[in-house]
Amino acid sequence: MLYHSTRGGVPAASFDEVLLAGLAADGGLYLPTEWPKMDRSRALDIGALDYSEAAAAILAIFAGDAFSQASLGQMTQNAYAKFAGNIVAPLTQVDDEDWILELYHGPTLAFKDFAMQLLGPLFDTVLAKINKKVTIIAATSGDTGAAAIDALKGRAQVDVVVLHPEGRVTDVQRRMMTTIDDPNVYNIAVDGSFDDCQSIVKSLFANNEFSETVNLSGVNSINWARLAAQTVYYFTSCAALRTKGPINFVVPTGNFGDVYAGYAAKKMGANIAMLGVATNRNDILHRALTTGDYFPHEVKATGSPSMDIQVASNFERLLYDAMHGESSALARRMASFSAENGMTLSAAERTFMAQDFVSYSTCEDKTKVEIKQHHNDTRSLIDPHTAVARVAAKALRAKGNMEGPIVTLSTAHPAKFPDTVREATGISPELPSQHSDLFDRKERMIHAPNNVNAVADVIRCSVRAAA
């Protein structure tokens, strides 16, 4: 299995090379040179396996010769043994044709754990082969950072640097990052938005001198290995609901990675009908899909901060398909996007995307109403990102954009967003026991201005890979 860049400026790469690279050297994102295909029966059979076995089977398809089936099986078994409960990704039925897929039972209480807990041992295996240290850098809107740190802390050949927008994540999200005291962990609080953090990360990758000095690698959802791991719960959900026909999924979306994993699963053969892109007030993806307006606005702070994003990196992967794989044209398009701070999608591109995607954007008030209504109906609490998706799922069904079974992805534990949940319901969600002392732990982070050179200096002076 080989991978190419969406922008076509680098040679094809193997899975382990893509894992270490993260972002392609030409600024593009890696995709399989050919999508692996399986018939519907095979897709259902894999999805019906124990979760760790299903993950190993799917990763083996993407990894090719880079990892043995046995080693992948051991990695997935160890990774998902850290999840609470007997079912790694449980489905809870909330209505006749509506389910919630609970993706928050991992170590850091968010869906990011599904991929991150695998990236740690994947990196270890590859780096041991080549006897190399790397610096993993990630921008986070709240959950990616904690998941990356938990998965990579204490690893001898990896330093992990996480940039978060200062004051724009919840206290629980921040503390899950900043209270880890392993010497290979560095938290940088940037005076800016998530988009600013993400822009800094991309600039650091584009700086060849800096990238080579610290052996830079990445674990944001631009890293193909993360998306490969996230396809698994689409397969297991389709298998669990196999008698229901094609399944619709509604995904709370900021950077377009989680919902793109569903698109990848569908292209591989999963029995998926439509994919719903649910956004909050930061609605660039909804505007792009419905009107073609892909111009970033100022980021608005909301109660669903992991979605407070105006530039969705993974959208480039879908745009590549919508442009029929014309990588040189896409490279020019993305250069123009950077220069003009936006683009307009053509009618043909929107028509292409509408074969698989629908979207809906909601406001803060409706999000809080949904949290309260869900609790009244089920006596269960949901986090605000899940609530955004539940509002979207109901609206998309009412508008006729989705018919039949709908699975809403619940991407975080409500205790990660206690203020919003308490405001909506009057109830303060409790952290699971393993995090009960979170607010007693000492924090450790570095403050930095919204400046790529300042952040580069901090990293260069800190990480072991640059020694």
| N- to C-terminal Cα separation, the chain | 34
User: What are the phi and psi torsion angles at 15 (to 5°)?
Assistant: -60, -45
Q: Are strands 30-32 and 91-95 parallel, antiparallel or unpaired?
A: unpaired
406: β partners: 98, 248
Q: For residue 238, what are the contacts with CB-CB under 8 A and spacing of at least 6?
A: 43, 44, 47, 247, 265, 270, 271, 272
Q: Which listed residue (37, 82, 112, 266) is catalytic?
A: 112
Give the count of beta carbons closer than 10 Å to the beta carbon of residue 86.
Answer: 6
- Find, among 51, 105, 117, 110, the residue nearest to 79 by Cα: 117
202 is catalytic: no
At position 242, the amino acid (one-letter code) is R
Task: Round to whole Å and give the CA distance between 457 and 232.
Answer: 38
Give the count of beta carbons closer than 10 Å to the beta carbon of residue 453.
Answer: 12
Task: Round to whole Å and give the CA distance between 6 and 348.
Answer: 19
Maximum alpha-carbon separation in the chain: 59
Task: Give the burial string for 275-306 (b: 16+ CB within 10 Å, else e).
Answer: bbbbbbbbbbbbbbbbebbbeeeebeebbbbb
- Find, among 22, 128, 17, 113, the residue nearest to 71 by Cα: 128
- What angle do the packed helices 315-322 and 257-268 form, to 10 degrees? 40
Task: Round to whole Å and give the CA distance between 216 and 160.
Answer: 10
Give the count of beta carbons closer than 10 Å to the beta carbon of residue 8.
Answer: 17
Task: Round to whole Å and give the CA distance between 142 and 297.
Answer: 20
Q: What ranges make up the beta strands (E) of 1-43? A: 2-5, 13-14, 30-32
Question: Sign of dihedral through CA atoms 452, 454, 457, 459?
Answer: negative
At position 394, the amino acid (one-letter code) is K
Residues with catalytic annotation? 112
